[in-house]
Amino acid sequence: MKITPEEVMHVAGLARLRLDSDRVDKVAQQLADILTYVDTLAQVDTQDVPPTAHATALTNAFREDQVRDHLRPEEALANAPAKEGLTFVVPKVIASS
């Protein structure tokens, strides 16, 4: 499939990409190669292939929810490098103007 430099520049503009004029021809050829490959894939008979969301069978890796006691504040703060009462002390990251 032939891709024109104007089409490349149009798509680059839609994607908010800046392409140097010397790269346009190379990108046009690369896009043409990709579209030719996609056209080849479109010719494959997939009539009896069921639609899938993943190429491999996946199972849910999450564990079942279990209700448990939460950490007491003292336990949560046990290894904190700095604490004040029942809170963490962290460096100030927002400067006032």
Question: Does position 52 have pLDDT exceeding 90, yes or no?
Answer: no
Residue type at position 43: Q
**What CA–CA distance (Å, rounded) separates 16 from 10?**
10
**What CA–CA distance (Å, rounded) separates 35 from 28?**
11
Residue type at position 17: L
> Which pTM does this prediction carry?
0.47
pLDDT for 2 equals 85
Rounded mean pLDDT, 10-23: 92
Confidence of residue 89 (pLDDT cuts 50, 70, 90): very high
**What CA–CA distance (Å, rounded) separates 3 from 11?**
11
Residue from 61, 82, 86 nearest 72 by CA? 86
Question: Does position 96 have pLDDT exceeding 80, yes or no?
Answer: no
Rounded mean pLDDT, 51-63: 80
Question: Does position 79 have pLDDT exceeding 80, yes or no?
Answer: yes
